[in-house]
Amino acid sequence: MLDVTLGFLNDALKRVRGRTALQLIAERLLLEAKRRLMFSDATIAEVGFELGFEDPAYFARFFRKGVHLSPGEFRRSHEQFK
């Protein structure tokens, strides 16, 4: 849609934002996952499905890799925001 190659896009994003397109997408997904875990009553699996993860275990691994907590641990540590 942008009519540029992936390499060009990644180079431009690295210059401007210091991250690749994939890294920026992962950051945005993590931000949205955190928001949903903090402010909704959806199960962890439902949050993963809402964000496009078909496998709840993969969502949990993705989340733990980015946040260094499991989704359940993160939710419990932020219960005061509900």
Are 49 and 36 within 8 A, CB to CB? no
Residue 37 domain-assigned (yes or no): yes
Residue 40 binned pLDDT confidence (cut-offs 50, 70, 90)? very high
The range of the structural domain enclosing residue 47 comes to: 27-81
Provide the domain count of the chain.
1
Tell me: the pLDDT tens digits for 19-37?
999 999 999 999 999 999 9
Residue 73 domain-assigned (yes or no): yes
Q: What's the predicted TM-score (pTM) here?
A: 0.86
Long-range contacts of 55-63 (CB under 8 A, 24+ apart): 59/33, 62/26, 62/29, 62/30, 63/30, 63/33
